[in-house]
Chains A and B, each alone.
Chain A
Amino acid sequence: MNRDKLSSEDFSLEALRAGDKNEFARLVEAYSGVIYRLAIKMLENSQDAEDVLQETFIKAYRNLLRFDGRSSLSTWLYRIATNEALMLIRRRKHQTISIDEPLETDEQDQMPLQFTDWCCLPEEELMSTEAREYMDQAIDDLPYSLRVVFLLRDIEGLSTHETADVLELSEAAVKTRLSRARLRLREMLSEYYRDRLLSQDSVQGEKPQ
């Protein structure tokens, strides 16, 4: 969450298109934080994230004249950033990844297997440094097509409609991907917290009566 409260309407498209540096600097300051955070989570690497951040605003500056205003400026910036990140991942892994890659058809794949109720764990345990590292790793383990949807919807706080616009997917596809991403993350977190619950129980069991 923590979305910047400035919206696209707070910027003068006319000034941006005319090359007004003040207005462009304002745009950079307003959105560089969210773009950088998204890039870090997508790429797991701060150098790559910085490259994406720079390329996003360079491309935005060069293409402002072609920006048709059909989507909001923020959606447009997110779209440039996710495309840049995708290109970097392709180059890095020498493989083809596409946001519209088909999802696994195996329905069993998303069936929950973990049924431990770990909601009762204290917040300091749920948000410990180790737990946060595990949470980060769980995001990294998601396939790209699910990860990017989860990040845009649940971390950046975009609506289904905005996410669909950024990724040029249907809203139904965004919902399906979000559902799968969340269920997979829940599964991975459940494995981790189940062990925490078990170790908590065993420690309590060792206490003298």
Chain B
Amino acid sequence: MNRESCQHLLDSLSDYIDGDLGDTLCVELERHLDSCENCRIVVDTLRKTVYLYQVTAQPPTVPDDVRQRLLHRLDLSDFLEKK
């Protein structure tokens, strides 16, 4: 991983897992991954890291007491019953 080619490609990995890498760099990176086990592991575990954070993210909900205080503070208590 200390090889120059690995370091050079490190900045591209994030774009790569987003499918957001330009064609030329993408070909270069995939050729490198075929021969570099450590970089392949970094790509796989990087992708898995993002996946784990996304699937374990809390749903975007506000606890009832927090919602009540928010609507009260905004002078919107009339809307408390509706949800």
Q: Which residue numbers of A lie inside 8 Å of B, CB to CB?
A: 1-4, 21-22, 24-25, 28-29, 32-34, 36-37, 40, 46, 50, 53-54, 57-58, 61, 107, 110-119, 126-127, 132, 135, 139, 154-155, 175-176, 178-179, 182-183, 185-186, 189-190
Contacts and interface: CB of A to CB of B under 8 A. Distances in A.
Looking at chain A's contact residues, the main secondary structure is helix
Interface residues of B, number: 41
A179 to B, nearest CB: 4
Nearest to A185: B49
Contacts of A3: 60
Contacts of B2: 111
Kindly name the residue among B13, B60, B74 whose own CB sees the greatest number of chain A CB atoms within 10 A: B60
Nearest to A32: B62
A115 B37 CA distance: 9
A126 B50 contact: no
A1 B2 CA distance: 34
A183 B7 CA distance: 13
A189 B1 contact: no
Interface in B4-26: 7, 10-11, 13-15
B44 A119 contact: yes
Given A28-B71, A119-B48, A135-B53, A182 B14 contact: yes
A4 B59 CA distance: 10
A111 B7 contact: yes
B71 A183 contact: no
B61 interface: yes
A61 B76 CA distance: 12
A33 B70 CA distance: 12
